[in-house]
């Protein structure tokens, strides 16, 4: 796999052979042959250029995830949960901001608490996406049978097993919970994305200007359930 003028496939192959690595990626900036990039994987003779590119991206993603997690001080998977239990309804840190105005605080806390109380009454859960005239907020609610729980604020842990019939049933229900929320959120993102594009195109065709400033994102805390945008696994 080569880019620009420099072909460094031979260097990548040599390094992989000497180190007996599963895969090697070589990046050269302004080298003797010019700039270039090469990927050499074990058994790579049968790999397509697209497969090599995907392997390169996977390597970048894996190391970036580990670096971001270390920078944030997040525990790696496999570490025992923190001592102590979460008291009261789970509230992840992003549920309220340090600089919320009155409308934002009312939506995050008062409205969110009332809706969460209804879900807990029926031992149901899900994701609440809320918007008033001046504010927006979200709330994740995990029912008692769900294996997803905050521990204690910033880390969301998945705890499931099949040691007993009840645990197996809860594990199955938890996986269905994750899949259902994923699928519905994807549908809503696509649906509202189309609505937004159609509305913007129609307004601009009439000479209007459309601007949007995201609501509910307090400085230093953020209003997103995943502030890192999926970079930490």
User: What pLDDT, in 10s, does the model give residues 127-155?
Assistant: 988 888 888 888 888 999 999 987 655 56
In a domain, 50, yes or no: yes
pLDDT at 124: 95
Are the CB atoms for 116 and 128 separated by under 8 Å?
yes
Q: What is the pLDDT of residues 161-187, one digit of tens each?
A: 999 999 999 999 999 999 999 999 999
Residues 25 and 105 in one domain: no
Residues 58 and 127 in one domain: no
Q: How far apart are CA 138 and CA 188, in angstroms?
A: 14
Specify the higher pLDDT residue, 160 or 220.
160
Residues 133 and 36 in one domain: no
pTM tops 0.85: no
Average pLDDT over residues 19-44: 82
pLDDT at 99: 63
Give residue 57's domain range.
9-72
Q: How far apart are CA 176 and CA 182, in angstroms?
A: 10
Q: Which stretches within the chain are classed as H helix? A: 9-19, 49-72, 102-105, 112-121, 165-205
- Report the domain count for the chain: 2
Residues 109 and 201 in one domain: yes
Residues 99 and 195 in one domain: yes
pLDDT at 222 over 90: no
In a domain, 218, yes or no: no
């Amino acid at each position: 796999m080569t880019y620009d003028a420099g072909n460094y496939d031979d260097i990548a192959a040599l390094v992989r052979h000497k180190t007996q690595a599963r895969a090697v990626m070589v990046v050269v900036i302004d080298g003797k042959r010019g700039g270039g990039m090469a990927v050499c994987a074990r058994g790579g003779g049968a790999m397509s250029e697209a497969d090599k590119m995907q392997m390169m991206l996977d390597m970048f993603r894996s190391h970036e995830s580990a670096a971001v997690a270390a920078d944030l001080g997040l525990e790696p998977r496999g570490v025992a949960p923190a001592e102590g239990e979460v008291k009261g309804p789970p509230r992840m840190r992003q549920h309220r901001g340090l600089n919320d105005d009155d409308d934002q605080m009312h939506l995050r806390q008062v409205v969110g608490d009332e809706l969460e109380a209804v879900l807990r009454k029926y031992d149901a859960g899900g994701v609440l996406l809320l918007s008033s005239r001046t504010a927006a907020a979200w709330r994740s609610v995990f029912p008692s049978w769900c294996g997803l729980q905050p521990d204690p604020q910033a880390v969301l842990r998945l705890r499931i097993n099949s040691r007993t019939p009840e645990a197996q049933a809860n594990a199955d229900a938890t996986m269905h919970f994750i899949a259902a929320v994923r699928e519905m959120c994807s549908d809503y993102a696509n649906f509202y994305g189309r609505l937004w594009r159609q509305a913007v195109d129609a307004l601009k065709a009439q000479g209007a200007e459309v601007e949007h400033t995201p609501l509910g994102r307090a400085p230093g805390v953020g209003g997103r359930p995943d502030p890192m945008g999926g970079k930490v696994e």
